[in-house]
Structure 1
Amino acid sequence: MITRSSISHLRIPFSLFLMPVFFFALALTPNLNEGRLALVFLALHLFLYPSSNGYNSFFDRDEESIGGLKNPPKVTQDLFWLAQSFFVIALILGALISWSFASMLAVYGLVSMAYSHPSIRIKKYPWASWLIAGFFQGYFTFAMAYAGLSDLGWHVIFKAHVVTPGLLTSLMLWGNYPLTQVYQHGEDSRRGDLTLSLKLGIKGTFLFSSLFFALTGLAFVWYFLDKNQDSILWVYLGAMAPVMLFFLIWFGFIRKDEKYASYSWAMGMNSISAICLNAFFIYYFLENTQILQVFGY
């Protein structure tokens, strides 16, 4: 029997925060196909990511707030099998496109399992977890989505037109990743997980993220200028303005009192980032593919 607790731990709405990577890949895909688009989207956002969330929740057994759940319900045994079922469904959907895409989904899923499984638990290694999470949720996911959308194989991971935007997505995630841990110091400490945010400290986490946000902004400026997309650059900067404003306000409060390193502020940061980035990359997709011009807009 599937419990409401297990469904909650899948945290399906949390997939919204990783959608910008999909839309970025979609914007650069040369041979769009509606069927592949739907399959890739469903495999990633409705099944693979929720499977990862549920699996990690099963082993973490958090009692305090986690991403997408302010008050996580008690974990039950069926969560493990529900998460694995979602993983299998993701692989089946991937196989409808190609075995290459399905194998990429499998690699992502296995790495995600290693993140929290007690026998490996990448999560307890601060720099390794930061590097691996940012790489797989960024670069690898971008390449995986691009391959699925274009019906291409593993070789696409090493193509220059995938490497550059893929690294840009990882830069975004490397900047934001420590902020997702900043309100979990107490529980992570009790469990023995030395996360990067714990290692850096709360103010150190914000300084670290500030550096990577600056690097990410400069990298995107270079990317759009190199592609002679000056108008897109200004839209990107406009989309990022609310995100940076929220971050600076939050950092200002943190400098006065570290109690503001809370779930509510962290989810606020995640939410505004997701809304602005998703909106921007959807716009970039429409502009880059000239779909609107086809309909006379």
Structure 2
Amino acid sequence: AAQDYPTAVSLLLVCKEVRLWILPVLYTTVVLTSSNAIIRFFRGLMQDAGPNPTSPILAPLVRHLWMGPIGRSPTPGFPKAFEVNDGYWSSADLQLYSTSWPITMMHQILSSCTSLRSLAILNLGQNNWSHLEGVIPTTLESLWLGPIHGPLILKNFRHHPRLRTITSIDTYMRDDEVKDIVLSPHCRVFRRAYIRSPQAVEYAFQQLPCVAQSSTLEEMRIELHGIAGDDAWEARLKQLEEKYLPFCLDKRVKIVVRPEAQTQGIFRTIFRDWQLETLSSESMVNSYIVYFV
């Protein structure tokens, strides 16, 4: 069953005894692509945590969690086990600034997922992030937010997770936010992805000097999505690299153009990167990505 998703699900339905060893396989990585998915997942967690649970509580089994849209269609090149119908990949109702986000339930989900290592929340309105940052679990190592996420202030994380990788998507960040992340003794990779945002990209270049002050950061990555083949944008990027050359010469600074975003969009590109990260941290024969829609 560890290598056969349909068989694993069938066994769950007909044999209670196997739940003890199948549920950890199924719930390692969870993708929630709509408000209804978040609500159903929340209800499942609460039901499982009832007074007389017949299996391990589900929430602590979750190590990787994605909430938000993931694109329009499956990513080519991934194993058949991870291909799903187009409906799973639609943006559903979780649009930026949508009132459909069930913030209270998300708060309780994050409070319950005490073994979480990787969390991605895409399209959450910037004013809603402050309601969730206080319950980010201690175990979290990788955080993905955007576009236009709220202030990312490490001291506001009450449980003090040792974040090793932070991905910020298409967001202006204050100098103090960037500096605190870069100088964090735990952060190894700080990734900033942009979708044709000239002013925001230049601000990111202006904030590169703080990299020199860090002795622990391994990579400061500025990614540009959707500019491949755009002569004006490529010329502008070259100007920025020349203008901030002393800071770009730091080997930890990576300026990357992502051409695949031209055809598949930044959400699919980011989701694919998140998949690769989660799959590399878990044995593919011992875990699945479970999609809720």
Return the TM-score normalized by structure 2: 0.31
Structure with bigger gyration radius: 2
Select the structure that is richer in strand.
2
Return the TM-score normalized by structure 1: 0.30
Higher relative contact order (CA 8 A, sep 6+): 1
Select the structure that is richer in helix.
1
